């Protein structure tokens, strides 16, 4: 098996060693070099021809964002994972990097007090992302015990859509920046979103999306009443659920156990909207690594709602939508640049008045059809 060639770029000797030791310990990965700043990194890319680079944001001589711009000019297909601090400044720079073409990001372990813990955090977060981006993460179908019999014919409800629920992960910030700003300001239903991101990141993402969108976008908070033409993004480290109270639906937040190694989890949100809205749900699963969203998609479909996904060609990683498709739980797949229009079309069409068919009347001299 050909190992994935990695160049580690970071101005910290400690971080370079942590990354190199952790990544090289995996038999599928090979750290072929390190660099302490962007200028050195650009010179080494030519010599080492890595498949992927990990790129620190704050460095002397040439920082991560400057380096990323040059990398994208010279090597548009080279995979780049930003390695940033879990701070407001680090989160803002990471979102800038994603908009400039970074493939994904990972957060530096901080205040662990233990090298072993730091190594484990890197291994659990960074290694799967590298493998997924490089196509080594195979689709693994989850058991769906509630589907019985397996080949039953689904009766579609064609119900009036009252809420749109979106789940996404790797590649999601840019995907959401493509979709939400294209939703019209008169959108007649609320939108709820899970994007796998840590605290601070989700708030800044919501603020950036709000500045570009016709609809209101904000980070979700407890007890908010859902209203039309408004999108809420689950806050990092909190599951977000929709609960019905009479005629109103509200958001609730909790820090229950992770699902699919995630908090927030798409499955938690999808399960809750299916319970609160029944068949009146449109679920959307977009680019992302892992299996989160598969069981939730089944909940939406079992309740009579519909689920659409982002197609493979436009996804950064076709893990989440790919598993929904492989499980037979999607109604259709669309390229990223068609998703906003398709969401709007489906919602509008489902809510259009259906005029009753008027019986034809016949004149006395007109023969009645047999």
Q: Is the domain of 126 the same as that of 190?
A: no
Q: Is the domain of 115 the same as that of 217?
A: no
DSSP label at 245? E
**Which residues is 35 bridged to in the sheet?**
9
Q: Give the total number of structural domains in the chain.
A: 2
Question: Which pLDDT score is estimated for 149?
Answer: 39
Strand positions, DSSP E, the chain: 4-9, 29-35, 52-56, 79-84, 104-107, 163-168, 191-195, 216-219, 230-233, 239-245, 248-254, 281-285, 306-310, 332-334
Could you tell me if 311 and 319 are in contact, meaning their C-beta atoms sit under 8 angstroms apart? no
Average predicted confidence (pLDDT) for the chain: 90
Could you tell me if 295 and 262 are in contact, meaning their C-beta atoms sit under 8 angstroms apart? no
| pLDDT at 197 > cutoff 50 | yes
CA end-to-end span of the chain, whole Å?
A: 73
Q: Is the domain of 77 the same as that of 184?
A: no
Q: Is the domain of 87 the same as that of 177?
A: no
Q: Is the residue at 360 inside a domain?
A: no
Residues 6 or more apart whose CB falls under 8 angstroms from that of 100 comprise 65, 68, 69, 72
Alpha carbon distance 152, 171 (integer Å): 34
Alpha carbon distance 191, 150 (integer Å): 31
Q: Is the domain of 80 the same as that of 200?
A: no
Alpha carbon distance 34, 17 (integer Å): 9
**Which residues is 165 bridged to in the sheet?**
192, 283
| pLDDT at 338 > cutoff 80 | yes
Q: Is the domain of 191 the same as that of 298?
A: yes
325's enclosing H/E stretch is: helix 320-326
Which of left, alpha, beta for 210 (phi over 0: left; psi -120 to 50: alpha)? alpha
Question: Which pLDDT score is estimated for 355?
Answer: 52
Q: Which CATH number does the domain housing residue 335 bear?
A: 3.40.50.180
Q: Is the domain of 297 the same as that of 183?
A: yes
**Structural domain containing residue 310:** 163-351
Averaged pLDDT, 138-142 = 54
Tell me which residue of 300, 350, 336 sits closest to 188, measured CA to CA. Answer: 350
Q: Which CATH number does the domain housing residue 48 bear?
A: 3.40.50.2300
| pLDDT band at 370; cut points 50, 70, 90 | very low
Q: Is the residue at 368 inside a domain?
A: no
Alpha carbon distance 321, 327 (integer Å): 10
**Which residues is 249 bridged to in the sheet?**
244
Q: Please give the positions annotated as active site.
A: 169, 196, 292
Q: Is the residue at 147 inside a domain?
A: no
Peptide bond into 264 cis (omega under 30): yes
Residue 80 buriedness (CB in 10 A; 0-12 / 13-18 / 19+): buried
Out of 13-22, 34-43, 255-264, pick the least confident. Answer: 13-22
Q: Is the domain of 194 the same as that of 312?
A: yes
Alpha carbon distance 205, 234 (integer Å): 11
Averaged pLDDT, 186-210 = 97
244-267 pLDDT, tens per residue? 998 899 999 999 999 999 999 999
Alpha carbon distance 205, 346 (integer Å): 26
Instruction: Give the angle subtended at the CA of 62 by the CAs of 60 and 65, to the nearest 5°.
Output: 115
Out of 2-16, 47-61, 135-149, 342-356, pick the least confident. Answer: 135-149
Phi, psi of 64 (to 5 degrees): -65, -40
| pLDDT band at 138; cut points 50, 70, 90 | low
Averaged pLDDT, 337-366 = 76
Alpha carbon distance 152, 185 (integer Å): 39
Q: Is the domain of 328 the same as that of 194?
A: yes
Q: Is the domain of 173 the same as that of 308?
A: yes
Could you tell me if 263 and 237 are in contact, meaning their C-beta atoms sit under 8 angstroms apart? yes
268's enclosing H/E stretch is: helix 266-277
Alpha-carbon Rg for the chain, nearest whole angstrom, is 23
Residues 6 or more apart whose CB falls under 8 angstroms from that of 172 comprise 195, 196, 197, 286, 287, 288
Q: Is the domain of 120 the same as that of 187?
A: no
Question: Which pLDDT score is estimated for 148?
Answer: 39
């Amino acid at each position: 098996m050909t190992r994935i060639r990695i160049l580690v770029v970071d101005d910290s000797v400690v971080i370079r060693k942590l990354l190199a030791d952790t990544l090289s310990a995996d038999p599928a990965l090979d750290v072929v070099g390190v660099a302490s700043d962007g200028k050195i990194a650009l010179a080494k890319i030519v010599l080492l021809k890595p498949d992927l680079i990990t790129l620190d944001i704050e460095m002397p001589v040439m920082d991560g964002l400057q380096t990323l711009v040059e990398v994208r000019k010279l090597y548009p297909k080279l995979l780049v994972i930003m390695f940033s601090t879990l701070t407001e400044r680090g989160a803002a720079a990471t979102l800038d990097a994603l908009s400039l073409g970074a493939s994904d990001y990972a957060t530096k372990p901080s205040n662990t007090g233990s090298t072993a813990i730091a190594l484990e955090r890197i291994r659990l977060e960074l290694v799967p992302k590298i493998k997924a981006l490089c196509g080594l993460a195979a689709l693994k179908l989850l058991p769906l015990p509630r589907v019985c019999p397996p080949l039953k014919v689904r009766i579609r409800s064609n119900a009036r859509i009252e809420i749109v629920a979106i789940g996404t992960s790797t590649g999601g910030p840019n995907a959401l920046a493509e979709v939400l700003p294209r939703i019209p300001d008169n959108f007649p239903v609320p939108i709820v979103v899970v994007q796998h991101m840590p605290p601070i990141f989700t708030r800044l993402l919501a603020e950036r999306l709000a500045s570009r969108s016709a609809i209101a976008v904000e980070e979700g908070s407890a007890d908010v009443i859902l209203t039309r033409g408004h999108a809420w993004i689950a806050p990092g480290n909190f599951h977000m659920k929709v609960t019905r109270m009479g005629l109103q639906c509200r958001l609730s937040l909790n820090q229950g156990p992770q699902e699919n190694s995630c908090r927030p989890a798409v499955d938690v949100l999808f399960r809750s909207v299916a319970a609160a809205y029944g068949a009146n749900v449109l679920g959307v699963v977009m680019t992302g690594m892992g299996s989160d969203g598969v069981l939730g998609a089944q909940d939406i479909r079992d309740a009579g709602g519909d689920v659409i996904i982002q197609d493979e060609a436009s996804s950064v990683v076709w893990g989440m939508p790919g598993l929904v498709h492989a499980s037979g739980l999607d109604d259709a797949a669309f390229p990223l640049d068609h998703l906003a229009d398709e969401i709007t079309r489906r919602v509008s069409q489902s809510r259009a008045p259906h005029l009753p068919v008027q019986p034809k009347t016949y004149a006395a001299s007109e023969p009645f059809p047999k």
